[in-house]
Amino acid sequence: MDKLYIQGGTPLKGKVQISGAKNSAVALIPATILAESTITIDNLPNISDVRVFADLLREIGGTVELREGELTVDPSAMTAVPLPNGSVKKLRASYYLMGAMLGRFGRAAVGLPGGCNLGPRPIDQHIKGFEALGATVSNDHGAIFLKADELRGARIYLDVVSVGATINIMLAAVRAKGQTIIENAAKEPEIIDVATLLSSMGAKIKGAGTDVIRIEGVDKLNGCRHTIIPDRIESGTFMIAAAASKGQVILDNVIPKHLESLSSKLREIGVTIQEQDDQLYIDASQADFQAVDIKTLVHPGFPTDLQQPMTTLLTQAVGTSIVTDTIYSARFKHVDELRRMGANIKVEGRSAIIYGATPLQGTKVTASDLRAGAALVIAGLISTGVTEISGVEHIDRGYEDLVAKLQELGAEVWRNLPAPATEPAEMDKAIES
Ligand code: EPU
């Protein structure tokens, strides 16, 4: 298994190019199933989740070409091949195959999703939506079976604001007969991105990005070309890494508005941030970090996906910070690892209480999920000595070329190879110490 090694202590400096959004990509790729002619999606991130999804489309008969961030899918020969096992289990977002295949074929069999372990991640709201549209849904041996002779528009109130359920219901409803109204819908930018693609395909959707989405079903959807929005979570990760390392970094290809909740928290902590069109400039070279409290909320609140990287930064802030995750109760697996690096953090219920500032020391740590991995990489960047990170496959699921991008910003980070300036024996000593 691959490992990452980081020799900490270098402030990040320079410019980084942000990739297309992972959480859009994993919804847009299954959305191509709904079309009857060729679709091209560009600005795709080069991450393992995208490659797995491309393979899944091939498995159901699609002609798929994935090259240099561009995916071309001819979905005309696809059929409702059951996918109870195999690659579907590797992806959390494989649940989007349910909505897309139900919309196109009136049936689907999809293994229950895998992906990051963040505690309970039910899909009851997705199922409630499919049933309201007229599907029968059963759960057998770890797979969900869906069937509908005809999908009919319905009024659906989500009991929990869910990104996945909102998108999945949209995917099924664009081909249903009549009008669907999703109330208490999620408002994340990725939902607008999916609605934009579906509209370019010929769907009739109003209100994406608000909490009421209205969809008028159509009989047929066509191919088109679509460019994915920039990844706000990758952007946020680099903003936090730049800040924590006391660096000066320009992020290119960002939508600053998507990052307002993070920018305002970083400013409160003491970081200077300037916005310009599709760029953000982060300057923490002179910053003295102050403790802040953070509560994750649905968009436009502070994103749960940035809570873990932020915890690392807050170990460097003077005073007591409280980070509360209202979305995922068990998203604190990075805390034990940060403690092993010298952080003083206590988890109580849904909150992490961080007492700062504490210096961090490099050691051997394990990423339990994607954003825990990001939190540990940032910890490595600001630690003394060398940090060795296992569980890199989680990081590969969601960050394109993380090592190369950090190296370009001056970080001493490498994958599997010994450090250029450090002999392996010395490195082992540093990691053991
Ligand atoms: N929930 C339910 N029932 C449902 C669906 C969700 O109770 O049927 C609950 C969840 O347990 C959670 C809350 O509702 O407590 C929100 O979950 P949501 O459905 O919004 O999350 P998701 O669609 O499964 C997406 C992202 C996550 C991100 C969350 C929240 C994708 C593929 N995943 O997950 O991203 O954390 O929204 O913004 O889009 C990540 O990128 O690392 C990641 C985990």
Asked whether the predicted pLDDT for residue 428 surpasses 80, the reply is no
Write down the pTM of the prediction: 0.94
> Is the CB of residue 93 below 6 angstroms from any atom belonging to ligand 1?
yes
| CA of 327, closest atom in ligand 1 | 15
Q: Cα of 119 to ligand 1 centre, how many Å? A: 11
Ligand 1 pocket test: which of 162, 184, 297, 399 has the largest number of ligand atoms within 8 Å of its C-beta? 162
Predicted confidence (pLDDT) per residue in 230-258, tens digit: 999 999 999 999 999 999 999 999 999 99
Three-class SS state of 250: strand
Asked whether the predicted pLDDT for residue 196 surpasses 90, the reply is yes
**Mean pLDDT of the 39-53 span:** 95
pLDDT at 433: 43
Q: Which residue has the higher pLDDT, 88 or 402?
A: 402
Ligand 1 pocket test: which of 23, 137, 228, 393 has the largest number of ligand atoms within 8 Å of its C-beta? 23
Q: Which residue has the higher pLDDT, 268 or 143?
A: 268
Predicted confidence (pLDDT) per residue in 289-331, tens digit: 999 999 999 999 999 999 999 999 999 999 999 999 999 988 9
CA distance 367 to 377: 9
CA distance 355 to 335: 12
pLDDT at 26: 96
pLDDT at 424: 46
Which residues make beta-bridge pairs with 323? 294, 352
> Is the CB of residue 125 below 6 angstroms from any atom belonging to ligand 1?
yes
> Is the CB of residue 29 below 6 angstroms from any atom belonging to ligand 1?
no
Residue 116 is among the residues annotated as catalytic for this protein:
yes
Domain boundaries, the chain: 4-19+230-415, 22-227
> Is the CB of residue 371 below 6 angstroms from any atom belonging to ligand 1?
yes
> Is the CB of residue 338 below 6 angstroms from any atom belonging to ligand 1?
no
> Is the CB of residue 167 below 6 angstroms from any atom belonging to ligand 1?
no
The residue whose C-alpha atom lies closest to atom 33 belonging to ligand 1 is 23
Please give the order of strands across the beta sheet that includes 248-252.
13-17, 248-252, 279-283, 272-276
pLDDT-above-70 percentage for the chain: 94
Asked whether the predicted pLDDT for residue 46 surpasses 50, the reply is yes
pLDDT at 432: 47
Give how far the C-alpha of residue 300 lies from the chain's centroid of Cα atoms, to the nearest Å: 15
Predicted confidence (pLDDT) per residue in 58-72, tens digit: 999 999 999 989 999
Q: Do domains 4-19+230-415 and 22-227 have the same CATH topology?
A: yes
pLDDT at 150: 96
pLDDT at 419: 52
| CA of 115, closest atom in ligand 1 | 44
pLDDT at 118: 57
CATH number of 22-227: 3.65.10.10
DSSP 155: E
> Is the CB of residue 327 below 6 angstroms from any atom belonging to ligand 1?
yes
The residue whose C-alpha atom lies closest to atom 2 belonging to ligand 1 is 122
pLDDT at 417: 64
Predicted confidence (pLDDT) per residue in 364-388, tens digit: 999 999 999 999 999 999 999 999 9
In terms of Cβ atoms closer than 10 Å to its own Cβ (0-12, 13-18, 19+), residue 142 is exposed
Asked whether the predicted pLDDT for residue 36 surpasses 80, the reply is yes
| Catalytic residue (one of 71, 108, 116, 323) | 116
The residue whose C-alpha atom lies closest to atom 39 belonging to ligand 1 is 23
Predicted confidence (pLDDT) per residue in 146-188, tens digit: 999 999 999 999 999 999 999 999 999 999 999 999 999 999 9
Q: Cα of 234 to ligand 1 centre, how many Å? A: 17
pLDDT band, residue 113 (cuts 50/70/90) = confident
Is there a contact between 400 and 376 (Cβ–Cβ < 8 Å)? Answer: no
Mean pLDDT over all residues of the chain? 94
Q: Which residue has the higher pLDDT, 349 or 329?
A: 349
CA distance 400 to 14: 18
pLDDT band, residue 214 (cuts 50/70/90) = very high
Q: Cα of 250 to ligand 1 centre, how many Å? A: 29
> Under CATH, what is the fold of the domain 4-19+230-415?
UDP-n-acetylglucosamine1-carboxyvinyl-transferase; Chain (3.65.10)
